[in-house]
Amino acid sequence: MRIRQDTVVAIVFVAAMFMNIMDATIVNTALPSIARDFRASITSVDWVVIGYLLSLSLWIPAAGWLGDRIGTRTVFLASLAIFTTASALAGLSQSLGQLVAFRILQGIGGGILTPVGQAMLYRAFPPEKRARASAILLVPTVLAPATGPVIGGLLVDQLSWRWCFYVNVPLGVLALVFGLLFLHQHQEPRIGGFDWMGFLLSGFGLALFVYALSEGATDGWGSPVILAPGLLGLVLLAIMVQVELRRAHPMISLSLLRHRLFRTTNLVSLFGSAAFMGVLFAMPQFLQEARGASALSSGLTTFPEAVGVILSSRLVARLYPKIGPRRLMFGGLLGVTGAILCLATIHLGTSQWWIRLFMFLVGAGMAYQILPLQAASFSEISSADTGRASSLFNTQRQIAGTLGVSVLATVIAASLSIHPGAAPHIVVDAYRHAFMAAAVLAAAAAGIALQVHDEDAYATMGRQPVEKRSSSA
| Tens digit of each residue's pLDDT (9 = 90 or more) over 190-221 | 777 777 888 888 888 888 888 888 788 777 78
Question: What are the C-alpha distances in Å from 164 to residues 90, 91, 172, 391?
Answer: 9, 8, 14, 28
Average pLDDT, whole number, for the chain? 84
Pairwise CA distance, residues 106 & 246, whole Å: 33
Pairwise CA distance, residues 465 & 473, whole Å: 17
What is the CATH T-level fold of the domain 253-473, as seen in this structure? Growth Hormone; Chain: A; (1.20.1250)
The residues, ordered by sequence, that sit 6+ positions from 146 with a Cβ below 8 Å of its Cβ are 280, 299, 302, 303, 305, 306
Residue 468: the pLDDT is 47
Pairwise CA distance, residues 321 & 334, whole Å: 21
Polymer length of the chain: 473
Mean pLDDT for 143-159 is 76
Query: Of all residues in the chain, what percent carry a pLDDT higher than 70?
Result: 94
How many other C-beta atoms lie within 10 A of the C-beta of residue 416? Answer: 17
How far is the first Cα of the chain from the last one, in angstroms, to the nearest whole number?
48
Residue 185: the pLDDT is 86
Mean pLDDT for 94-98 is 89
Pairwise CA distance, residues 222 & 57, whole Å: 23
DSSP, residue by residue, 392-429: HHHHHHHHHHHHHHHHHHHHHHHHHHHSTT--HHHHHH
Residue pair 259/378 in contact (Cβ under 8 Å)? The answer is: no
Nearest residue to 355 via CA among 289, 295, 303 = 303
pLDDT in tens, 214-270: 788 777 788 888 889 889 999 999 998 888 888 877 878 888 888 889 899 999 999
Backbone angles phi, psi at 417, to 5 degrees: -70, -25
The residues, ordered by sequence, that sit 6+ positions from 145 with a Cβ below 8 Å of its Cβ are 21, 22, 24, 25, 277, 280, 306
Pairwise CA distance, residues 286 & 292, whole Å: 9
**Tally of CA atoms within 13 A in the half-sphere of 135 that contains its CB:** 14
Backbone angles phi, psi at 330, to 5 degrees: -65, -50
The yes/no answer on whether domain 1-188 falls in CATH 3.30.930.10 is: no
DSSP, residue by residue, 257-295: GGSHHHHHHHHHHHHHHHHHHHHHHHHHHHHHHTS---H
- pLDDT higher than threshold 90 for residue 442: yes
Of residues 45 and 207, more confidence is placed in 207
Pairwise CA distance, residues 129 & 186, whole Å: 20
Residue 437: the pLDDT is 93
Angle between helices 96-124 and 72-91 (to 10 degrees): 150
Of residues 248 and 7, more confidence is placed in 7
pLDDT in tens, 46-68: 788 888 888 888 888 888 888 88
Pairwise CA distance, residues 251 & 240, whole Å: 10
SS3 at position 230: helix
Residue 422: the pLDDT is 55
pLDDT in tens, 378-409: 888 887 778 888 888 888 888 888 888 888 88
The residues, ordered by sequence, that sit 6+ positions from 24 with a Cβ below 8 Å of its Cβ are 49, 52, 145, 148
CA torsion sign, 397 to 130 to 65 to 168? Answer: positive
Of residues 415 and 345, more confidence is placed in 345
DSSP, residue by residue, 47-92: HHHHHHHHHHHHHHHHHHHHHHHH-HHHHHHHHHHHHHHHHHHHHT
Confidence of residue 470 (pLDDT cuts 50, 70, 90): very low
Residue 463: the pLDDT is 64
Pairwise CA distance, residues 338 & 343, whole Å: 9
Confidence of residue 473 (pLDDT cuts 50, 70, 90): very low
Pairwise CA distance, residues 414 & 340, whole Å: 20
pLDDT in tens, 8-35: 888 888 888 888 888 777 877 777 778 8
Give the angle subtended at the CA of 70 by the CAs of 67 and 71, to the nearest 5°: 60
Pairwise CA distance, residues 4 & 370, whole Å: 26
- pLDDT higher than threshold 60 for residue 302: yes
Give the angle subtended at the CA of 126 by the CAs of 319 and 63, to the nearest 5°: 110
Rg (CA), the chain: 21
pLDDT in tens, 313-347: 888 888 888 888 999 999 999 999 999 999 999 88
Residue 469: the pLDDT is 42
Residue 278: the pLDDT is 87
Greatest Cα pair distance, the chain, in angstroms, is 66
